[in-house]
Structure 1
Amino acid sequence: MRRILELPLIVILMGLCALMMYLPVFHAVTVRDWLSARSFFYAGTLFLTLVIFLGIATYHMKPRSLARSHLTALVAAYGLLPFMLAWPFYEAIQNTTYFNAWFEMVSSLTTTGASLFEPGRLPGSLHLWRAIVGWMGGLFIWVTAAAIMAPLNLGGFEVTSMARPGSGAKRDRVLDADAQTDPRERLLRLALQMGPVYVSLTGVLWIALVVAGEEPLIAICHAMSVLSTSGISPVEGLSQARSGLLGEAIILLFFIFAFSRKTFSPGYGMGAVRVSAVYKDIEARMAVYCIILVPSALFLRHWIGAFEVDDVADVGAALRALWGAAFTVASFLSTTGFTSAEWGGTETWSGLQTPGMVLMGLALVGGGVATTAGGVKLLRVYALYRHSHREIERLVHPNSVSGAGGSFGRHIRKQGAYIAWLFFMLYAISLAGVSAMLGATGLNFEQSMILSLSALSTAGQLAEVGGGAAIIYVQITDVAKSVLAGAMVLGRVEALALIALLNPEFWRA
């Protein structure tokens, strides 16, 4: 293991991807899908051989800065790995272009979940591969957020850090991100600590869904999609799942891992200590408030109108609509993108012409820092809220001095809110830029805005429910798909990380 860590990070990631290609082989052989089995076996063997040669050639490479090289590898992974991951997919499906296969893998690896293919068009082994790639992308984010982004004060950690984003590491009680620690050692330690947790949670959810009545293949794909927030499904979402409302209730419980890193980060222990940490976590509490308030608003809007027309008898329909709203709100807030089987009733119940706009706003907010969720992140929204609250107080009492929250509270209201506002502006500029480029390809304003937001927030399912009519990815041009692929990578890596990577001071360090 120590010798493997001497290799460049991108070579290690290529080796892991090559090994994962053998997993669909076992499923394909079981169901006698020989074409898929050969495609993945040959591709896995070819790329594994290539990785061995690359490992030999790059074994003695020693970059000037390991932290900088790892951040570069993080960006390069999303640019290079999809070309490798798309090859067996392209060979197995045979009736598509390599470009479409590449777009599918970019979408899966960034946990966006935007698909060009109807579920019935792909065999089960290819659905499993899409889910595996999304699942690997989620694990990659879990580990690199703690091992690479946190020491550089990026990925949301800059809101609570006293240091400048990208300028160096800070100590973190939870992540133990010490600037003096070898990045390779930190990467290995956190991978060994967080990897088994990620795998175990996926296994528990898989077994729970099978017990609820789901088919094993669909259950494992949904389990991997929930933990990675990719929303990839071998069927048309949860509306076609056999587990029903029980399966949705089980999945809802696992959304908590996309709202707070304190549910899985090393350093909090288990049992009552971890539960207490999650209960006190700002991001988890904000997520709970959103899950309570937004469905209540959708529900009460119809309920008040129903009293006016004396139509309040169907309590069962009301409860189903409330459940559909609560589950779907939690799903899009975590940027997973699963819609409840009762969401259609919720749309009718709310009386809104475009309830998908609510889901777009939730996906924009996103989940927690250092989780697999995309979006702006709840911690940044909280920093802006605290700053706004303080400014309103000063309008009433201009000479007041606030000490609420101690030094952490003062930092969040000032420096934290400042850097959160900068990120929000970068996000808005990125949204405007991607929308303009999509508009230049022939898409109208509504389609451009929905697709831009779905890519930047890594919630590809917004294309289906965000507007008045569903947007079909396969119907847009290849140029638009290329723009969306770039936006997916930008939304996953985040603009601040790219700016830090392009900063001359970062390279001179």
Structure 2
Amino acid sequence: MNRALNLPFLVILMGIGALAMFLPFIHAFIVRDWLTARSFFYSGMVFSFLTTLIGFATYNTRDRNIARSHLLALPVTFVALPLMLAVPFQEAVRNTTFLNAYFEMVSSLTTTGATLFDNPERLAPSVHLWRVLVGWLGGLFIWVTAIAILSPMNLGGFEVISPERAGRGARPVEDSVRRTDPRERLMRFGLQLAPIYTGLTSILWLMLILSGEDPFVAVCHAMSTLATSGISPVGGLDGSNAFMSGELFIFAFFIFAVTRQSFNPDLGSKVWWRPGQDAEVTMAVICVIVVPLFLFLRHWLGAYDVDDQQNLGRAFASLWGSVFSVLSFLTTTGFISSDWAQAREWSGLQTPGLILLGLALTGGGVATTAGGVKLLRVYALYKHGVREMEKLVHPHSVGGSGAYARHIRRQGAAVAWVFFMLFALNIAVVMSALSLTGLTFEEVTILSVSALSTTGPLAQVAGEVPISYSELGAAGKLILSAAMVLGRLETLAIIALFNPEFWRH
């Protein structure tokens, strides 16, 4: 294991990707899909050999600033690694272009879950497994790098709670980075988090099987839930056999995309499940209560006098469909409850999916697989706003709650507002680029938010009619691919790469 520290980060990821190709090969071999099996076997062999050669050539190569090289590896990974991962996909599908395969792999690796294949039956089960597996590995990659790389650099949401300037940890003069080699942190956190990530996926898989789900579909949905990719081999939960019990199990595992404290081994003494102890959990609970009640009560006043028995059944289905879908899109997973259609009809709104668009923008927890602005940043802005209103009433009052709360309300809120403005600017830029491809305003809005928040299924529910990614031209696919990478990395991490101090040492 220690010898792996002498290899460049990207080479290690290439090796993991090459070895992962043998899992769809084994599955295709078992189900006797020989064409798909050959595609993944040959690709795995070729890229394993190529990775070995590159590993020998770059072994023991050291950069003067290892932290900088690892931060640089993040955008390179999301842009370049899908080029390798797309090869077996295109070979197995055969009747698609390499650009389409590249789009699928970028979407999977960034845990976006957008797909060009509207009909799931067009892809072989082993190809679906490859999409899900790439998304699952992408989720684990985000878990590890967020804690091992972005956290010491005060990026990825950690800048809200850190007293240091965002990106300053990337300077080698900083004690936290100087004392610890980022490669050692990657190895240590990878070994700690991988068993947790795998174990949680296995537990959810078993629960879904006990709910009556097909084992293959169950493992795909379990992996997609933990990775918040929303990828499904049957087109979503509507094609599932687990029904409401399966949705209940998936709903419970959304907590791992709400707060990092549900899986982070470095927790200290803080207890996240107590009311008010974790800001991200508190914000998520508020959203899950307020939004479904709004959708539910809006129609209840006009429907209570109809057939009571039928009305109560429809009311319960509507309420559950709203609760599940709200948390699903808040975590940027994008699974839609089988009762969401009932919830749409019950709400009486023409496009209640726009509410899900706002939830996806909000996003999940810091250092989780969720995308979006993140709940911690929203909480910092909320606390700042509350404090400003208190000062309007009592101008000479002094805010309490300790130094941590004061930092969140001041510096934390300031940097959260900067990120929010950058995120809004990204949306404007992506929308402008997509509008040049001939799409309507509604389409470019939904597609831009879905890509930057890494919530691909938004295109199916946010508008009055579903938007098909397959109808995009080559320019639109490339723009959305870049937007997905930008949304996954976050703008502050990209800006840190252009900081002169970042390159000075």
Give the alignment's TM-score, normalised by structure 1: 0.96
Q: 1:48 to 1:278 in 2, by over 3 A?
A: farther
Within a 5 Å distance, the mapping from 1:36-115 to structure 2 comes to 36-115=36-115
Select 1:485's aligned residue among 461, 481, 502.
481
Give the alignment's TM-score, normalised by structure 2: 0.97
**Residue matched to 1:351:** 348
**Residue matched to 2:394:** 397
2:5 counterpart of 1:5: yes
Select 2:378's aligned residue among 376, 381, 394.
381
Amino acid at match of 2:150: M
**Residue matched to 1:459:** 455
Aligned sequence identity (%): 58
CA contact (8 A) 1:306 1:312 kept: no
Structure 1 stretches of 5 or more lacking a match?
171-175
**Residue matched to 1:173:** none
Q: Deviations over 1:362-415 (max 9, x none)?
A: 000000000000000000000000111111111111222212x20011101110
In structure 2, what is the Cα distance between the partners aligned to 1:284 and 1:112? 22
**Residue matched to 1:241:** 240
Select 2:467's aligned residue among 466, 471, 485.
471
Q: 1:447 to 1:268 in 2, by over 3 A?
A: same
Select 1:450's aligned residue among 436, 442, 446.
446
Amino acid at match of 2:168: S
Structure 2 stretches of 5 or more lacking a match?
none
In structure 2, what is the Cα distance between the partners aligned to 1:179 and 1:226? 36
Structure 1 residue runs of 4+, over 4 Å off? 176-179, 272-279, 309-313
Q: Deviations over 1:94-123 (max 9, x none)?
A: 010011000000000000000011201001
Select 2:414's aligned residue among 414, 418, 429.
418
**Residue matched to 1:228:** 227
Cα deviation, residue 286, structure 1? 1.0
Q: How many residues align?
A: 500
In structure 2, what is the Cα distance between the partners aligned to 1:471 and 1:440? 17
Cα deviation, residue 459, structure 1? 0.2
In structure 2, what is the Cα distance between the partners aligned to 1:267 and 1:394? 36
In structure 1, what is the Cα distance between the partners aligned to 2:480 and 2:420? 20
Amino acid at match of 1:236: G
In structure 2, what is the Cα distance between the partners aligned to 1:16 and 1:236? 28
Cα deviation, residue 463, structure 1? 0.3
Secondary structure of 1:168's counterpart equals: helix
CA contact (8 A) 1:321 1:343 kept: yes
**Residue matched to 2:495:** 499
Amino acid at match of 2:264: S
In structure 2, what is the Cα distance between the partners aligned to 1:177 and 1:424? 27
In structure 2, what is the Cα distance between the partners aligned to 1:268 and 1:316? 42
CA contact (8 A) 2:169 2:176 kept: no
Amino acid at match of 2:193: M
CA contact (8 A) 1:454 1:460 kept: yes
In structure 1, what is the Cα distance between the partners aligned to 2:176 and 2:264? 12
2:207 counterpart of 1:211: no
Moved more, 356-365 or 297-306: 297-306
Q: 1:169 to 1:67 in 2, by over 3 A?
A: closer
Q: 1:418 to 1:287 in 2, by over 3 A?
A: same
In structure 2, what is the Cα distance between the partners aligned to 1:278 and 1:61? 49
In structure 1, what is the Cα distance between the partners aligned to 2:178 and 2:289? 40
Amino acid at match of 1:411: H
**Residue matched to 1:150:** 151
Q: Deviations over 1:149-182 (max 9, x none)?
A: 0000000000000001110179xxxxx9765211
Amino acid at match of 1:396: V
In structure 2, what is the Cα distance between the partners aligned to 1:386 and 1:216? 45
Cα deviation, residue 305, structure 1? 2.2
Amino acid at match of 1:235: V
Within a 5 Å distance, the mapping from 1:6-25 to structure 2 comes to 6-25=6-25
Cα deviation, residue 60, structure 1? 2.7
